[in-house]
Amino acid sequence: MLEEIDARIAGVLAADGRCSYTDLAERVGLSVSAVHQRVRRLEKRGVIRGYSAQIDSEQIGLPLTAFVSLTPIDPSAPDDYPRRLAALPEIEACHSVAGVESYIVKVRVASPSALEALLAQIRGTARLSTRTTVVLSTPFEHRAVAPAVVDVAGDLETADVAAEG
């Protein structure tokens, strides 16, 4: 768990990774040097893992998004599927899941035929069966996560991050 002030800092940066130290200090009620020190500590601890740009996949020629559920054909085979699939650039994310499937991957491709080729490549590379769900639209994604904090009474709650700016 994070201290409340660290959770507020993390919440502001999750919503706006380009927020300046000056603005961040103002929003959480600390000095700029105190905020800078806390951000560096959060980065060292791995709470803040990095900063990135969110790219519109349609604008770069990858308008088709799909979720592909992966199930091993041979349940006794080694569970090294993420390693085998890591080299496929169309796979944006890989999640280990509970249930019938072992993994669900999020993919972005240029067309239905590119998706078909990718599925064949996944099946051949990792010897998995697949079940695919094509995304029709995405009302929202990349939502900022409100970090959990423990209040003075020991109760779990989420940090109050004011949506300013």
Q: What does the pLDDT look like over 91-150, one tens digit per residue? A: 999 999 999 999 999 999 999 999 999 999 999 988 899 999 999 999 999 887 777 776
Residue 157: pLDDT band with limits 50, 70, 90: low
The whole-number average pLDDT for the span 145-158 is: 67
> Into which CATH architecture does domain 4-52+144-158 fall?
Orthogonal Bundle (1.10)
Residues in the chain: 165
What is the residue extent of each domain of the chain? 4-52+144-158, 57-134
3-state secondary structure 114-135: HHHHHHHHHHHHHCEEEEEEEC
Backbone angles phi, psi at 104, to 5 degrees: -125, 130
What is the residue-averaged pLDDT of the chain?
A: 90
Q: What does the pLDDT look like over 21-71, one tens digit per residue? A: 999 999 999 999 999 999 999 999 999 999 988 899 999 999 999 999 999
Q: Domain 57-134, CATH 3.30.70.920 — does that match?
A: yes
Predicted confidence at residue 127, as pLDDT, reads 87
26: how many CB neighbours lie within 10 A of its CB? 15
The residue ranges of DSSP E strands in the chain, in sequence order, are: 64-72, 91-96, 103-109, 128-134, 148-150, 156-158
DSSP 85: H
pLDDT of residue 165 exceeding 50: no
Q: What does the pLDDT look like over 2-24, one tens digit per residue? A: 899 999 999 999 989 999 999 99
3-state secondary structure of 66: strand
Instruction: Extract the tokens encoding 128.
Output: 């998995």
29: how many CB neighbours lie within 10 A of its CB? 10
| Residue among 41, 31, 148 at smallest CA distance from 160 | 148
Residue with tokens 């959480």: 28
